[in-house]
Amino acid sequence: MHYEENEVLKRLPHHLKQYVNDQHYESYTPQDQAVWRYVMRKNVDYLRKVAHGSYVEGLHKTGISTEEIPSMYGMNRILKEIGWAAVAVDGFIPPTAFMEFQAYNVLVIAHDIRQIDNIEYTPAPDIIHESAGHAPIIANPEYAEYLRRFGEIGSKAISSAMDYEMYEAIRHLSIVKEDRNSDPKVVERAEQHVLDLQNSEAALSEMSKIRNLHWWTVEYGLIGTLDNPKIYGAGLLSSIGESKSCLKDHVKKIFYDISAADVSFDITQPQPQLFVTPDFAHLSFVLEQFANQMGLRRGGTEGINMLIESKNLGTIEYNTGLQVSGVFTKIITDSHNNPVYIQATGPTALSYHEKELIGHGINYHTDGFGSPVGRLKDINMAIENMSPNDLEAYKIREGEMCRLEFEGGVTVEGEVITGVRNRKGKVLVISFKNCTVKYGDEVLFHPDWGIYDMAIGKSIVSAYAGPADFNSFDMTTHQLEPGNKREIISQEKQRLLDMYTQIREMRQNSALLSEEKLNQIFETLKSDYPEEWLLPVELFETAHSNKFKIENSIKNYLKEISANQSDIAHLITDGITLAENPVSLIDEFS
């Protein structure tokens, strides 16, 4: 991809770079630029009064202008000064990948922009939401660290099969809702499918819960007091409708704590309640509380079972630091519900400190991996704590037959070949030949199956999504969308876009400005484009700022449109107000 790398982007692992696309800046139409300008001018005019103080300052620090859609190149040159970067992607990407980008201090920005019909809000990620919503607040160092840490923890959250279905449903909805050619019935069915999934009574997974925390903070968070909160969530900062309604009394304000993890949200509707954090430090406090409940930090039977239910690639970590990455399919537990044997099926890799052990990748463990967990029966010392002399004493030595009986009832009997140790000499893996592994009468490994590699560790201390070493697996699954996916523009639409261009050029270059040209465009709009409202608003702004006589005629025309199209009347009214009461946004933020 032809994006401008800075020091932050150079650290991105290969499996994340598969999602990075070109911005294709030239594909933005003049109307797209007008949509950006309208939303930004309207938002900043209002948000400078009700948003957290970091928002206004952050717009300047991140190089985001109210006048034009930002370029990734320009943003990266400025973001590197605060230790961040931005990349363009195709709309929704998997939640785990989205959070992992955050862990690397990278903002993921959907390069598409909402249609004019969805100017107030769209469920689809777009450049207004991502750049104008997320980017400004990360200029606050305390919040930026929360976002990074959230990504680091959230990317390890274990998903359920329902989570994957929900991701695909929301992704489909965002695509059809922003497609100008979508059949309304298709959009309706997509919305209903999302609602059905949201209303299902399935237990919330770790990923569902951490997505809830993300929604109620990063996307829809308020900060301050319950009586006088300020906005900092990107979803609110980028919605010209909900940023106003959210502060009204009908939207319940709740003190933010860990209970928000159990409060699900409806992406298709305005939120009936919002959570208020007293400060950004409290966000990190709640995040750590939640992390302490995750399989990432607790491991054990619960964590392993979550990985089994997810049916996806995950990692368990023994107390020795040995990490097993694969698709887990089986766990055997003792009478106290502690794991005594784990089984992964299919390609599996063993790692230590996120680095694959030499000789223990998926090409070797092609068909899976299974191993006991726990202490040896009637022996007080765990194998990982045994010195070479201890291993000799318990007859665990190379070239000799050995029988190990674990407290949980698993037996391993075979000839010791060799072992893998860490830098401190602690044993991580012992390999056997002619080996039989049993749990009671159940054969878990047969000598005919080849070499048996046994993991060493008395407990499972961590269980999380994804591999320990991303280089162990081929994680490249994403297909980038083609660069030129714009609709075929009709001659009628092109005439309209050309007029948008003329107004934009007049605003930027006074030498091109004339009342006669404005009048010609105005007459064409009235006769050929009676449904169009945004361009007449820009026309009025230009006429008003230059005190042209045509100003009143355009204003009266806009009032006529408002009377005939009540659903957009407030947008037109706000556009007129912005034109008549301009604020010095360009000088302040460009």
pLDDT tens sequence across 402-411: 999 999 999 9
pLDDT at residue 92, rounded to an integer: 76
Take residue 468 and report the two structure tokens written for it: 């320990």
pLDDT of residue 75: 85
CB 243 within 8 A of CB 50: yes
* Choice between 239 and 384, residue whose per-residue pLDDT is larger: 384
Is residue 554 within 8 Å of residue 522, measured between CB atoms? yes
Confidence of residue 483 (pLDDT cuts 50, 70, 90): low
Residue-wise pLDDT tens digits, 526-583: 999 999 999 999 999 999 999 999 999 999 999 999 999 999 999 999 999 999 987 6
What is the predicted pLDDT for the residue at 587? Answer: 44
User: Does 426 or 252 have the greater pLDDT score?
Assistant: 252
pLDDT given for residue 124 in this prediction: 72
357: left (phi over 0), alpha (psi -120 to 50) or beta: beta
* Res. 589 pLDDT band, cuts 50 70 90: very low
Q: Which residue has the tokens 């959570």?
A: 275
83 token code pair: 């230790």
Q: When comparing pLDDT for 484 and 119, which is higher?
A: 119
* Lowest model confidence (mean pLDDT) among 189-193, 365-369, 506-510: 189-193
429 vs 380: which has the higher pLDDT: 429
Structure-block tokens of residue 54: 């970091």
Question: Which of 72-86, 208-222, 337-351, 504-518 is predicted least confidently?
Answer: 72-86
The pTM for the full model equals 0.87
Query: Between 130 and 436, where is the model more confident?
Result: 436
Asked whether the predicted pLDDT for residue 485 surpasses 90, the reply is no
In this predicted structure, the answer to whether residue 78 has a pLDDT above a threshold of 90 is: no
pLDDT at 480 over 90: no
Residue 388 to residue 116: CA distance in whole angstroms: 72
Model confidence band, residue 238 (pLDDT cutoffs 50, 70, 90):
confident
- State the average pLDDT over residues 49-62: 88
Would you call 486 exposed, middle or buried from its count of C-beta atoms within 10 A (0-12, 13-18, 19+)? exposed
Tell whether the model's pLDDT for residue 171 goes beyond 80.
no
Match 């030129």 to its residue by tokens: 484
Among 151, 154, 61, 63, smallest CA distance to 107 is for 151
Q: Is 223 left (phi over 0), alpha (psi -120 to 50) or beta?
A: beta
The percent of residues in the chain predicted with pLDDT above 70, rounded, is 95
Query: Using the 8-state DSSP alphabet, how is residue 315 labeled?
Result: E
Tokens of 314: 């995950």
Check: CB of residue 285 under 8 Å from CB of residue 305: no
Look at 369 and 97; give whichever has higher pLDDT: 369
Q: How confident is the model at residue 588 (pLDDT cuts 50, 70, 90)?
A: very low
Instruction: Tell me how far CA of residue 264 lies from CA of 25, 56, 506, 529, in angstroms.
Output: 36, 30, 48, 42
β-pairing, 368-372 with 401-405?
A: unpaired
Q: What is the pLDDT of residue 338?
A: 97
Average pLDDT estimate for 186-193? 84
Min mean pLDDT across 174-183, 208-217, 333-342 is at 174-183
For 294-335, the pLDDT digits (tens) are 999 999 999 999 999 999 999 999 999 999 999 999 999 999
Residue with structure tokens 């695509």? 175
- Residue 122 pLDDT > 80: no
Q: Which amino acid is at 282?
A: H
Whether the CB-CB separation of 269 and 172 falls below 8 Å is answered with no
d(CA 268, CA 138): 26
The pLDDT score that the predictor gives to residue 4 is: 57
- pLDDT tens-place string over residues 341-367: 999 999 999 999 999 999 999 999 999
- How much is the pLDDT for 585? 45
Per-residue confidence band for 44, with pLDDT thresholds at 50, 70 and 90? confident
**Mean pLDDT of the chain, nearest integer:** 90
Mean pLDDT, range 493-518, rounded to an integer: 94
Distance of CA 64 to the CA centre of its chain: 21
Q: What pLDDT sits at residue 156?
A: 97
CA distance 499 to 113: 20
Residue 513 CB partners (closer than 8 Å, separation 6+): 506, 507, 542, 546
